[in-house]
């Protein structure tokens, strides 16, 4: 539900040098999506409709990855988090009464936690409300300093801690709510640190000095405060997030056998009563219908499956399977494969940019590329659509109820008519009429006597090869 009077600002301008990467820190992926997108999603799911992002390093790459649904504010010089928020004044200063500020490298904050923080801020009529974490890792994080009455007086960076303060376990999670009328003048009062940077945490000290100390909300799960600044932290965050995703789908009625071996991206949807077997990867924006069986050993990426599909030990990428399709083991459906209801794909079949009609079958060892296969057509073992001439791709069309014999080569562009048949080992270079049967190399129609027609030699004495003791063939 949308909340009125709020805007959100995600900070994503800094480079993140500890990642040791040429890619911006917030663009490293967690469960199939850029890290910062999880932060944006948490704000959106908490009900904030206006969301802005401060960009700086690799600004264009960040814009392209996060899309057009955000307002973008540029921090031309990366002078700290306080300076970053100040850059958003022109864009957000008159849009909202309250501002939610989140770091783009803290991707595990739950939407319900954000909602609780916003509610506490509104209820407390506070200048600053901040999320804190206790019981988790404290290395590198700012500690929450409180006075003798338990009021928050400051956030102290690790380098500035006194010996006594190093025992503090309550840390700043990097998620804040601000009263906008207080925030914008207060930002102008912040002074640079010894490094020249202006830190947003300085506002906590200012609020205490203004006799309106920050209100705190403690996250129930310590992992919510995990900031990702190294590859080690990235791996830790992904492990936590994958665990949450698996738990969600099991509670939604999906069976996961040996969950720890199953990887499900954040953008995947799974229908009730689907069963997922070990060593399976459900990636990208895949959509899986109800009562499917996936795996073991399956990779599904950016693909859609209808109800009751079964995919075993296969790779399905950028493809669509209608209801009741069964594929595998050891098949590969590539970009643009579309299998209508009831299609059967067996072992070692590869399909690319092709549509298989309802009830069609390809049981073994075939390549179907740039093709349209009719309903109930049966593709024999070893069939290949020869779609590429070295420069261009060409189309193969196979009609309804056609029977393609084993080891048939269909040299595109070519059409096989409805109910037509090809013999084993046929090389089809010309269109085959509906109901016809063709055999041989090159394939020729079978005559009424059951032999290849159109003058094709059938005797071994008229071989097309010439040499000692052989006549030169008449085949053309």
Catalytic residue among 257, 344, 364, 394: 364
CA–CA gap between residue 138 and residue 102 (Å, rounded): 19
Residue 214 CA from chain centroid, whole number: 38
Contact 193, 199 (CB under 8 A): yes
CA–CA gap between residue 320 and residue 308 (Å, rounded): 13
The token duo for 466 is 């010439």
Annotated catalytic residue 364? yes
Residue 125: count of CB within 10 angstroms of its CB: 9
Contact 200, 175 (CB under 8 A): no
CA–CA gap between residue 103 and residue 10 (Å, rounded): 6
Residue 283 CA from chain centroid, whole number: 5
- Catalytic residue positions, numbered: 364
């Amino acid at each position: 539900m949308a909340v009125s009077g709020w805007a959100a600002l995600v900070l994503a301008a800094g480079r993140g040098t500890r990642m040791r990467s040429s890619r911006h820190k917030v663009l490293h992926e967690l469960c199939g999506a850029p890290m910062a997108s999880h932060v944006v999603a948490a704000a959106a799911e908490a009900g904030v409709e206006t969301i802005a992002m401060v960009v700086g390093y690799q600004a264009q790459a960040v814009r392209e990855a996060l899309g057009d649904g955000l307002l973008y504010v540029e921090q031309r010089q990366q002078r700290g988090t306080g300076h970053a928020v100040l850059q958003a004044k022109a864009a957000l200063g008159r849009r909202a009464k309250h501002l939610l500020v989140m770091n783009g490298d803290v991707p595990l904050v739950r939407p319900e936690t954000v909602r609780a923080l916003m509610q506490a801020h509104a209820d407390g009529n506070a200048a600053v409300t901040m999320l804190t974490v206790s019981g988790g890792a404290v290395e590198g994080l700012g500690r929450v300093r409180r006075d003798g009455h338990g009021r928050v007086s400051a956030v102290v960076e690790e380098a500035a801690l006194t010996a006594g303060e190093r025992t503090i376990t309550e840390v700043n999670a990097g998620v804040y709510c601000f009263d906008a009328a207080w925030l914008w003048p207060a930002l102008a009062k912040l002074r640079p640190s010894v490094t020249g940077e202006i830190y947003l945490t300085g506002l906590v000290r200012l609020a205490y000095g203004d006799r309106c100390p920050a209100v705190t909300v403690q996250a129930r799960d310590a992992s919510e405060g995990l900031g990702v600044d190294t590859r080690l932290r990235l791996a830790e965050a992904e492990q936590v997030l994958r665990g949450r995703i698996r738990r969600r789908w099991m509670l939604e009625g999906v069976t996961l056998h040996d969950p720890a071996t199953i990887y499900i991206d954040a953008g995947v949807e799974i229908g009730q009563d689907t069963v997922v077997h070990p060593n399976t990867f459900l990636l990208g924006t895949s959509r899986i219908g109800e009562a499917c069986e996936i795996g073991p050993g399956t990779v599904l990426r950016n693909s859609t499956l209808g109800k009751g599909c079964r995919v075993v030990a296969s790779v399905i990428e950028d493809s669509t399977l209608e209801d009741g399709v069964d594929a595998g083991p050891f098949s590969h459906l590539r970009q643009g494969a579309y299998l209508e209801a009831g299609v059967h794909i067996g072992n070692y079949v590869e399909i690319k940019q092709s549509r298989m009609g309802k009830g069609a079958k390809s049981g073994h060892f075939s390549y179907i590329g740039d093709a349209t296969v009719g309903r109930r057509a049966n593709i024999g073992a070893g069939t290949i659509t020869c779609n590429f001439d070295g420069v261009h791709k060409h189309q193969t069309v196979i009609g309804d109820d056609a029977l393609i014999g084993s080891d048939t080569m269909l040299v595109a562009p070519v059409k096989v008519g409805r109910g037509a048949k090809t013999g084993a080992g046929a090389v089809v270079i010309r269109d085959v009429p509906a109901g016809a049967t063709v055999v041989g190399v090159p394939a020729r129609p079978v005559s009424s006597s059951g032999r290849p027609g159109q003058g094709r030699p059938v005797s071994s004495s008229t071989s097309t090869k010439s040499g000692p003791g052989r006549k030169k063939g008449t085949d053309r």
